[in-house]
Structure 1
Amino acid sequence: MSLIRLLVPANIRHSSGGNVYNARVAEGIRDLGVQVETVPVDGSWPDASAKDRRRFGSVLGAWEQEQEQEHEPGQRSAVALVDGLVAVGAPDELEFATKAGRQTFVLVHMPVPETSGPEALQKEARALRTASGVICTSSSAAAVLKARGLPNARVALPGTVRAAPAKGSTPPHLLAVAALLPNKDQLLTVAALAGIQDLEWTASLVGSEQADPEYARLVREAVSTSGLAGRVHLSGELTGAALEAEWDRADLSLLVSREEAFGMVVIESLAHGVPAVVRRGTGAVEALGVARLQDADGGTRLPGAALDLPRGGEADAGVLGANLRRWLEDHATREEWKACAMDARERLPGWDVTATTVLDVLAVTP
């Protein structure tokens, strides 16, 4: 029987898209009858210490040859699927594991940003070139790797969990689900909401305030100084029934991240029949279009909108605010987006599709 060992970074403790993907795909693989062992890897990844990297190498079996390991009759050695955040921090260990005959695949949620510098990009290149194979969780991530001349990656898009359609609220309720981080740009959302205070609405920012406490403080301060304290609620990170309750009262979700490989929260929104607004030029546009509708004339309809927000500051806040104003004031727009989201909800892929794709890349059969 095959065993997949999924190695994930232990230092990412908030509910990130990568963490959710890892947990869901492991569950999906188990449901298909394949053993999966999820192994949190200690260290400040991707910048882990030498001790943490060596410990990671030991988990991979990098220091001993494959033939030295004993296995039960008919049992293959474990196939390692390494989260990209760990892999790009330990290219040496991946190279040793490959030389020792280990099967090591890398799961890339987001490529190393260009702004990380040449050393980080070189580590990424070494890690991915030595791997047995590469899986990306979005087409946009795979395209970035291809443009860098790295090995072609297979794409295993996130799946969805079937959810009850949201009931919505009166007045309309806007929801932004993401850890409070500069990349997620909640300050932009607050600035946009400050410009439409003459309209009726409420909003919730749902996400960890521990990932970047200083940025979280700035967001809270912006809500207060903008006079939005009674209308914008910062709930912290929510899970389970509390998070479902937020989705149930939502009429529109927002994901205006500056960089996003995919944006799993967008398809989570669609799974609840809630349309979404995202930033154009990020992978969140792919998520918004996963189950897009095609018109008779060949055009497409999105369950929401992808906005150009390239400039930053007040200009982007004005663009976002103007689009939210149009959605709030134009009943036809609200109805069209909602109808598209409800249609998309019926066609979203499940995690079984994701798990099957991953197993195919790993050449593991149930």
Structure 2
Amino acid sequence: MTPQIAFAVPGDIRTLTGGYLYDFNLMTALSGLGPPIQHMAWGDSFPQPSADHADAALAQLQALPPDCPALVDGLAYGALDTDGLRRVRAPLFALVHHPLALEPGLDAAQARDMARREQANLDLARHIFVTSPHTGDLLHQSYGVSVDRITVVRPGFGPPVQGGAAKADPPLILSVGLLTQRKGHDVLLRALAQIADLNWQADIVGRDHEPSMTARLTALIDDLDLAPRVRLSGEVSSAALQARYCSATLFALATRYEGYGIVFGEAMGHGLPIISTRAGAVPETVGAEAGLLVAPDDADAFATALRRMLSEPALRDTCARASLRAASDLATWADSAVLVRDAMVLP
């Protein structure tokens, strides 16, 4: 008999961000395969948990029987007390979107402490799932995780969307990502200021995830005299986001780091040319033909890429076709769930 699987996720699993969409869709697909899923909802203070949230999470894990494998989202797994994890009887499996120590904004001491604890906790895992080959390579090279303990489980996607919707006029530059330092929205804004002579509008979709980030970006928009053309939409519904993908001319995200970047798959599924950076897993996700990638934190290069994509219809069409081709090869959530289920079923 297939054992029950406990799936632990900090915060609200229905949050409309890439990581939570990944967890929610994976959990839904796992349920469809048959193993009973016990969703363990933890506090939202991870990856720097309050004492109450950390204690409650460990108590739930320690209460699991030894025949119930526990899949723990990496946002929490790497932040839990290592000694507490050692007292868990259930087989532990980690789901790592990207190493916690690589989050921008950490000082050197915080990053070292986080990396040390994360490595110690990963040593306790029966197996580790990662969302991209890039993240798997990081865990192998920087954390010493053997490759036979790692399975790459890419996000799942539906079939590509082709045609049927009118494109926005003026051309819409769409950016989707949490309002955080890591997503590089400030770099995008500085790049947009350099192409003000062209005809375009821009929409940045994503909720405020760091203190005062909306205020800081709003101030930058005003300073750069972009207010009439750039909108900060905040978090929108899934239907509203799909409408934006359909009406956009291109997708742009000046990210400083991505463990995968589920929004790139969504953009490619709508046949959008992509402007982004050679950061983290972006090159292996987007590929060489679906867009233009530049160095992170280089607003001048990002502006040049935007100008080319807006001004060269042939380039834009070539990248759009490549996006759709790449999207047709993306995994489904059922594919992803099978990989996880097969690795978690215990003898």
For the Cα contact (< 8 Å) 2:14–2:24, is it kept in 1?
no
Using the alignment, how far apart are the partners of 2:39 and 2:160 within structure 1? 26
Deviation at 1:54, TM superposition (A): 2.6
Following superposition, the deviation at residue 303 of structure 1 comes to: 0.9
SS at match of 1:267: helix
Structure 1 length normalisation: TM-score?
0.85
Residue 190 of structure 1: aligned partner: 189
1:164 equivalent to 2:161? Answer yes
Q: Which runs of 5+ in 1 are unaligned?
A: 67-76, 290-300
1:113 equivalent to 2:101? Answer: yes
Q: Who is 2:131 aligned against?
A: 137
SS of match in other structure, 1:113: helix
Q: Deviations over 1:193-238 (max 9, x none)?
A: 11111111111000102x1241211111121222221211111111
TM-fit CA distance, 1:13? 7.9
1:78-129 deviation per Cα after TM superposition (whole angstroms, max 9, x unaligned): 21100111111212222111xx3x1110111111325443221121111100
Structure 1 residue 37: deviation in Å?
2.4
RMSD: 2.1
Q: Which residue matches 1:346?
A: 328
Consecutive aligned runs of 4 or more in structure 1 exceeding 4 Å deviation: 11-14
* Matched position secondary structure for 1:86: helix
The change in CA–CA distance for 1:65 and 1:272 in structure 2 (over 3 A counts) is: closer
Rounded Cα–Cα distance in structure 1 between residues aligned with 2:222 and 2:48: 36
Could you tell me the TM-score, scaled by structure 2's length?
0.90
Structure 2: distance between partners of 1:112 and 1:42: 17
After superposition, the C-alpha distances for 1:293-326 in whole angstroms (9 at most, x for unaligned) are xxxxxxxx521122123xx3xxx21111111111
C-alpha separation between the residues in 2 aligned to 1:345 and 1:351? 14
Distance 1:130 1:345 in 2: 36
Partner of 1:126: 120
Q: Which moved more, 1:20-29 or 1:88-97?
A: 88-97
Q: Which segment drifts farther, 182-191 or 167-176?
A: 167-176
1:82 and 2:72 aligned: yes
- The sequence identity of aligned pairs, in percent, is 29
Q: Could you say if the C-alpha distance between residues 321 and 216 of structure 1 is closer, same or farther in structure 2, counting changes exceeding 3 Å? A: same
Give the match for residue 241 of structure 2.
Answer: 243
Query: Compared with structure 1, are the counterparts of its residues 81 and 88 closer, same or farther at alpha carbon in structure 2 (3 Å cutoff)?
Result: same
Which residue matches 1:292? none
The whole-number CA distance in structure 2 between the counterparts of 1:164 and 1:359 is 29
- The letter of the residue matching 1:122 is R
Summarize deviations over 1:260-283 as a string: whole Å, max 9, x none.
111110001111111212211321
Number of matched residues?
Answer: 334
- Between 355-364 and 326-335, the greater mean CA deviation after superposition: 355-364
Instruction: Check the 8 A contact 1:11/1:44 in 2, yes or no.
Output: no
Question: Aligned to 1:61, what secondary structure does the other structure show?
Answer: helix
1:45-56 to structure 2, matched below 5 A, reads 45-56=46-57
Q: Which has the larger radius of gyration?
A: 1
AA aligned opposite 1:330: E
Are 1:362 and 2:339 an aligned pair?
no
Corresponding letter in the other structure for 1:103: P
Quick check: 1:174–1:254 contact (8 Å CA) kept in 2? Answer: yes
Name the counterpart of 1:37: 38
CA distance in 1, matches of 2:152, 2:283: 16
Query: Where in structure 2 are the equivalents of 1:1-366 lying within 5 Å?
Result: 1-10=2-11, 14-42=15-43, 44-61=45-62, 66=66, 77-90=67-80, 91-97=82-88, 100=89, 102-113=90-101, 115=108, 116-148=110-142, 149-152=144-147, 153-162=150-159, 164-165=161-162, 167=165, 168-209=167-208, 211-289=209-287, 301-309=288-296, 312=297, 316-363=298-345
Structure 2 residue identity aligned to 1:126: A
